Structures are given as C-alpha cells and as structure tokens.
Structure 1
Amino acid sequence: MFYEYLKLEQGKNPAFTFQIEADEEQKITRCFWSDARSRRAYKFFGDVVIFDTTYNTNRYGFIFAPIMGVNNHGQTIIFACGFLNHESVDDFVWLFNQFLESMPGGAPKMIITDQDPAMTKAFPLVLPNTFHRYCGWHILMKFSEKIDAVKYSIYKSEFSACIWKSETPEEFDLQWESLIKKSGLEGNRWLQDQYELRSRWIPAYVNHIFSADMSSSQRAESGHAFFKKFVSKNNSLVDFMIQFSRGLVRQRHEELMADHKDLIKKPKLRINHDFLEQMVDIYTNEMYYKFETEVCDSFNYKLQCVRETDNHCVYQIQRKKLAASKVREIVYDKDLDLVSCSCKKFESAGIPCTHIISYLMKFDAEILPDKYILKRWTKTAKSGTVVDDKGMQISPDNSYLLTRSQIIFGFS
C-alpha cells in the first residue's frame, strides 16, 4: 500500500521521486522520497541543509529522517524525507546518495547536524566537499551537564562570550585557554574534546562559509514539532504520508502567504535612504527588515584608513562615542573592487554588515552594488526553470504557481 501510494503521487507529477529498499523477506528497510516543489526549492535554497532524525512517527518504529533548509523568507522548508531502520553509516550514506541523485544543483555547501558518530563518518564518504557543522546549540546545552554546577553558574556568561563574540580562531583560542585555566577545568575531558572539535561548531571558524545565518539544528527540531501536530506513532506508513502531506500543505501555505505579502505590502521605510529605497523592492520583507537594521546602525560608526598598498586599502571601523567598542577591519580590494569586513557577516549570512554599509556610505555609493545582493534572499529567488540531471523539467504540483511567477517576475 505504501509503494502504491508513492506510485500514485509519481503518477500525478513525474517529478515526484522515491526509492524503496527491502530485505530478503520483502520487508522495507529504508525509503527516500521528494516531490516536485521540494526538488525545485533545493535548486534555489539548497546551499545549506539541516538534518536531524526523529522517532515515534509511525507504528513500525522507523526513524523519520527529513532533510530541511531555509527559504528566502527565513522559513523552514522540506527538501526530502526518508525512513530508516537504523542510524548506521551505511543507512546515512544510502539516504544522501539518493538525495544527491534526486536534487538539481549539486551538493550543499554546508550541512548542520548534531554530534551523531555515524553521521560524522558517513558525510565525508558521500559529501566530501560539504562542510559538516555540528549544532552549537546542542553543545552549549550540554555545558550544564558536563561541568561542575557551581563553576557553570560562575563562568556561563564568559563561555558564552568566548564562543559567540570571538571573530578569529586565534582570539577564541586565547580566551578559551585563559577561561579554562581560570576556572580550574583543565582536566575536564568533555571540554577538551569540544575544543578539539571547535572548527565544526564555533561560529567564528565557519564565517567564511555561507550558513544562511544558522549555527544550529534548532530549525529541524522546530520542524519536527510542527509535523508532530499531524503525525503520530500509531500511524501506518500510508496514514503517515497522508497526515504528513497535510502538514506540508500547511507549511507551503505559509510560504505562499509570505510570497503574496511581499507583492501587496511594501515595508514603510524608517529613514529615507537610497539603499533602503532600492532594496525594499528587491529583498523579501523579512530580509529587508534585517538589512534596514544594518543601514540604520551604520550611522553610528566612524571609519579611519590605517594603511594602503597598490592593491588594498585597510580601514578600522569602530562605534562612535564608545572607546571600548570592538574595532573591526575593513579591507577594500582595488583589483576586485570589493569590500570585506572582519566580522564576516556578509560571507555567513548573505546580508551586508553595518560596517560594509558604513564604508559604502562614506564613499557616496548611491545604490547597493549587485555583488552584495544575494539572490536567495530576494523576491525573485524562486524564478527560473529547473531541470534535473536527466533533463526533466521540475514544475510545481500546482502549475498555476509557476504561471503566477512567470507573470509577476517575467521569466520563462
């Protein structure tokens, strides 16, 4: 019945893809599926993937394994799903091989998971060029369990500052070593292990890799919580698919409402500024508000040139009237005509930081250059034809959505 259900969905739209494996007794051991809208979404938003497994979603005890991401409104979306009998290296390799074969656009740049040992072994085998990031939130939650309660209460804020405010590996190492020595936690084996793994979970280490401004798999957990409103451990596989599809319809309705809101309601500008007048028509409303905050804050900074070469100009930027505020470094590459900042917000979140904006304002830029506008955060992020590796065009189940986009955004 489960197989027939999937075949029926494929009959409705040939872009629906699935794969089932069974043992010698013809019992299902693992399954993968993804529909047309999920596959299209991956083409536009598959740069960062969140993966977190969950139990108690069906009466057979299968492990439910959704693969998720974030869209141009900052909403959690589904790329694909799987059922697994076990959380083994082989099962994860199989699932993500199916995933890569099905998704247009290649492997993601980053995948965020918890510290599951099997995942850690599996991903280098199937995603060798994808940065595997551990969920920082999960690790931070364990601090209270893994260190002495009194010391945790005393040094909690200092650990948090060390982790979230360090901007370079060297800065983090110095603060961490000082904090460990001061707190007398040199012998804590768990802390030693986390320090060895720091490149996978400390934000400063991965800022050069786009992360869609995410540092944890909490989005996956919130996604599980959402879908558990629809599915239960008593569901048969077919019941699960029916109920899960209802949840997916609800999730996609919210995305459609956000698309519609972008078209009919333009945010009111807090201040009159060329950048804001430009980007209010380009960014989705959600991303525009984030950009507006950066622009408004940029007036609070002062910029000073500290050195110049034939190829680069280097500036220091600091908040006005706060001598103790953090000093960032702005570098202008003359050959590339490109500005970068030591905070790395643009590289990791895809929205220019207040420091870069302050630099552009100082030199009287009238518009935000295209190189600082990431399409995945714009209203037109989902425009374009999507074709898979087999040459099949992937169109949404509801063709009117595609037609609507063609009319509004003018693509074919």
Structure 2
Amino acid sequence: MWLFTTFFEAMGGKKPKSIFTDQSAAISSVVDTVLPEAHHGLCLWHLCQNAAKNLSNNGYKTFAPQFKACIYNPEIVEEFEQSWDKLFEDNGLRGNEWLQRTYKLRKKWAQVYSHAHFCAGMTTSQRSESINKFLKDYFNHGRIVLREFVSLYSRAMDNRREKEREAEHLTQQTTPNFICNWSVEREAAKKYTKKIFYWFQECIKQTIDLSLELENGDGTIRTYRAKEIEGRKRICTLTYNHLEQTVSCTCKKFEFDGILCSHALKLFRHLEFKSLPPEYYLKRWTRAATYEVICDPMGEIIPNDNDPMLTAHYSELSHISQRIVSKGSRCIDVFSLSKSLLVEVEAKIDTFIASDEDVNKSIRIDTHHKSVSNMQQEAQLREPTKRRLKGQSSKRIKGPLESKSRKNNSPKVIGMQAMS
C-alpha cells in the first residue's frame, strides 16, 4: 500500500488505466483497493509458467497449445466458455484445483475480457522485466556506495537517451518503402514513428486477404462484415457512423493497442477516405509525442532530451562521423591518423564539458550565496519592526485558550515505515 501510494505521488497523482502483475495474492488485493477503476491483468508469461508447474504430471506439452488458444483466440465470451469446457474434456482435468482457481480469475487473463481496455498492446510484465535487466547490466557489483549508484545510474540513462536519439534520427532521416498507392499509408508514415509505422503497415498488408460486405445500410449507422478470404475465415462486425466518421470493430484492436485493425482500414479504404480521422492517430505513437512541454509537480519544466534541435545536431554530427569512418577505414595509415585525431577530439570534448559543468556549478553556488546574503539583509531590516511589534503585543491580554494552544504550536511530523 505504501509503495503504490508513493508511486502515485511521484506521478503527480495520475493513475494507470491498466496494470499487469504476476499471480501474487498480496499485490492483487492492494491493486483492487488502490486502483478500483483500472484494468488489472495477469502477466500471460507468468500464467503459462505456473500452468507448466501445476500441470507437469498431466501432460502439459499436449495441453499447452489448446490452453494458449483458449487465452488468445476467442472473440466473444460464449466462444471462450466453449473452448474452456472443451479444454477440460479433452485433457481430463475436471477436478484440477489450480485450473478451477485460474478460471475464477479469467477476466484478468482471457483476452476476450481484456480487449475493451487500453493496454498499449501489452499482455505481460515484460516491460518491467526488460528494465530490470537493463539496469542489472550496470549494477552488477554487489553492494555499492550511494555516489557510485548515482554515477552508474546517470551512465545508464545516458546510454538509453543515446539509443532514443538514434531511433529519432532514423525516423526523421529515412523514408520507408510503401506497399500501395493509398494516401493514408503516406500520411501515417509522416505521423508515426518508424517502428509504429511498420506495425501499422502490417495491418494494411492484411487488408489484401479480407473481403467486406454491407450487412445493414439504413440511416446514419451502417454495419459491415469483414472476413478472411482464406484461412480460418474469421468474421468481424464493423459498425460505422456516417455522421461522426467513426468505426468500431468487434476485434477491439484499436481499443486494446491504439492502432487501427485491418478490418477498419479495409472499410476506410472501401469508403475512399484520403485521410484517417485524427482521433485514430494516438499521440503516444506519433513523432509529436516527445515535443510537448512537460512540468514536474512543482511546475518546473522538465528538459526534453528529444528536442528537434538536439535531433538536428545529432543528425549533422552523425553524417560527419560516417564520412570519417568510411574514409578512415580504407588503409592502415589513414586508419591510424583518423583514430588518433578522433581520440584527441573526444578528450577535448570531455575537458570542455567538465569545465562547463564547473562554471555552472560556481554560478549556482554564487547565486545561492547572494540569495542567502539578501535574506540576511532583509532579516536585519525587519528586526527593529519585529521588536516594536513584540513590545506592542506584550501589552495585549491573552484569551482563555491562547496560552494553552501556544504550547502545542510546533509542526507535527507524521512518519510512515515500510516493512521489508
């Protein structure tokens, strides 16, 4: 409870829409208390690992494919219930207590219940695990002193920001290969980051294998059926609002990960849309996501490491360095010259950065001294006034409760201790 409360304070009071955990009963009970409106999902990787442990004597290898199909494939609740009953019957697991407990938690792991909740496409706690691994690569020395921790953490963050700048540079300076002449594909390439655009492009590719037919075209609301021409022939129902130009698909892909599904894209292309309605481009997936000014809880602006100017500087230096690398690796003599000059340049940059930090530090110290000096001068100017007011207040008659309250006017400090 303390951990979640502290986390919310650090996030300025903003709470997540979805949260993924393992099957810890202690964590689950607290999540239900502090995040009653959030979607609480169980990490599917942990769920499959627990299934392997609890069903090892019942032939999990033959059971696993059917179990995973039950997790991912059903698109309506009735289909899930049928798949679950068939899972029990085919594997003779009617009396298995672990599966019975797991079934009671089905709304936390069966994807048919999760698709209506925005999860940014995540179904596991892999994001947390990858961060853990990333930091462990830097903190592998056992116990370290605090100043070393700060230094290593700064190095880790510098490395992460460098990779982000590389990705930003790749997005800004390269153009993807297009697969069709639909203007929406080019529009998406300009709006999305490179990685997200490729996910979007895969959905465009899938429209090739879909057929679309009008089911109900009366009035403002139209209903379409989209199905696969070959394969499983899965059918999805699309509801299109002509006036609002909005579409909803029973697969719930957009609601789940924030990128339009192939069924909706098939419909928009069928209706000859030249551009998608803006609400279908979530800002979190676009290039503009890092351009917004962000303030901390105190109202101070947080520096943006993805400022367009920084990206432009990175791009220009990248081009220069690439030319040097290309020319400098041609023969051993040019290589030796290039290497020595680059090492010299790096040393000069490090010296310049260190001296610049010392200057900024001295400016901060000087500013602090000036502010302290100003405060002391103001205090000296206020002292005669305080003595005069004190002399006046000593003549005032105290009220019946005043003398008692003055004994307890010191500020109270409320402490919270977390048990390890």
TM-score by length of 2: 0.69
- Identical columns (%): 30
Q: Distance between the aligned counterparts of 1:407 and 1:180, measured in 2?
A: 59
1:287 to 196, 201, 207: 196
2:50 to 121, 130, 142: 142
Q: Distance between the aligned counterparts of 2:171 and 2:58, measured in 1?
A: 49
Shift of 1:367: 1.3
Residue 404 (1) aligns with residue 309 (2):
yes
Q: 1:335 to 1:195 in 2, by over 3 A?
A: farther
Contact 2:182–2:274 (Cα < 8 Å) also in 1 = no
Q: Distance between the aligned counterparts of 1:188 and 1:206, measured in 2?
A: 25
2:15 counterpart letter in structure 1: A
Classify the secondary structure of the residue corresponding to 1:115: coil
Structure 2 equivalent of residue 174 of structure 1 = 82
Q: Distance between the aligned counterparts of 2:37 and 2:131, measured in 1?
A: 26
Structure 1 equivalent of residue 119 of structure 2 = 211
Show CA shifts across 1:347-388 (max 9, x none): 111111110000111111111221211111001111222234
Contact 2:238–2:248 (Cα < 8 Å) also in 1 = yes
Structure 1 equivalent of residue 151 of structure 2 = 242
Q: 1:329 to 1:105 in 2, by over 3 A?
A: farther
Q: CA RMSD, aligned part only?
A: 2.2
Structure 1 unaligned blocks of 5 or more = 1-92
- State the number of aligned residues: 312
Shift of 1:308: 4.1
Where do residues 19-38 of structure 1 align in structure 2 (5 Å cutoff)?
A: none
Q: Distance between the aligned counterparts of 1:365 and 1:104, measured in 2?
A: 40
1:252 counterpart letter in structure 2: R
Contact 2:227–2:236 (Cα < 8 Å) also in 1 = yes
Q: Distance between the aligned counterparts of 2:13 and 2:171, measured in 1?
A: 26
Structure 2 equivalent of residue 298 of structure 1 = 207
Shift of 1:394: 2.5
2:222 to 302, 310, 313: 313
Q: Distance between the aligned counterparts of 1:393 and 1:227, measured in 2?
A: 26
Contact 1:330–1:356 (Cα < 8 Å) also in 2 = yes
Structure 2 equivalent of residue 95 of structure 1 = 3
Contact 2:117–2:256 (Cα < 8 Å) also in 1 = yes
Shift of 1:155: 2.4
TM-score by length of 1: 0.71
Show CA shifts across 1:5-52 (max 9, x none): xxxxxxxxxxxxxxxxxxxxxxxxxxxxxxxxxxxxxxxxxxxxxxxx
1:362 to 233, 247, 270: 270
Classify the secondary structure of the residue corresponding to 1:381: helix
2:270 counterpart letter in structure 1: K
Contact 2:210–2:226 (Cα < 8 Å) also in 1 = yes
Q: Distance between the aligned counterparts of 1:237 and 1:342, measured in 2?
A: 54
Structure 1 equivalent of residue 71 of structure 2 = 163
Q: Distance between the aligned counterparts of 1:349 and 1:379, measured in 2?
A: 17
Q: Distance between the aligned counterparts of 2:190 and 2:66, measured in 1?
A: 41
1:157 counterpart letter in structure 2: P
Shift of 1:233: 5.9
Contact 1:383–1:405 (Cα < 8 Å) also in 2 = no
Q: Distance between the aligned counterparts of 1:129 and 1:123, measured in 2?
A: 10
Contact 1:136–1:202 (Cα < 8 Å) also in 2 = no
2:288 to 372, 380, 394: 380
Larger gyration radius, structure 1 or structure 2 = 2
2:173 to 264, 269, 280: 264
1:265 counterpart letter in structure 2: T
2:88 counterpart letter in structure 1: I
Q: 1:311 to 1:228 in 2, by over 3 A?
A: same
Contact 2:222–2:241 (Cα < 8 Å) also in 1 = yes
Say which is worse superposed, 347-356 or 254-263, in terms of deviation: 254-263
Shift of 1:128: 2.8
2:81 counterpart letter in structure 1: D
Q: Distance between the aligned counterparts of 1:123 and 1:180, measured in 2?
A: 30
Question: Relative contact order (alpha carbons < 8 A, sep ≥ 6): 1 or 2 greater?
Answer: 1
Q: 1:237 to 1:272 in 2, by over 3 A?
A: farther
Structure 2 unaligned blocks of 5 or more = 314-420
Q: Which has the higher helix share?
A: 2
Q: Distance between the aligned counterparts of 2:230 and 2:134, measured in 1?
A: 45
Q: 1:351 to 1:170 in 2, by over 3 A?
A: same
Where do residues 2-17 of structure 1 align in structure 2 (5 Å cutoff)?
A: none
Q: Distance between the aligned counterparts of 2:311 and 2:153, measured in 1?
A: 29
Contact 1:282–1:379 (Cα < 8 Å) also in 2 = yes
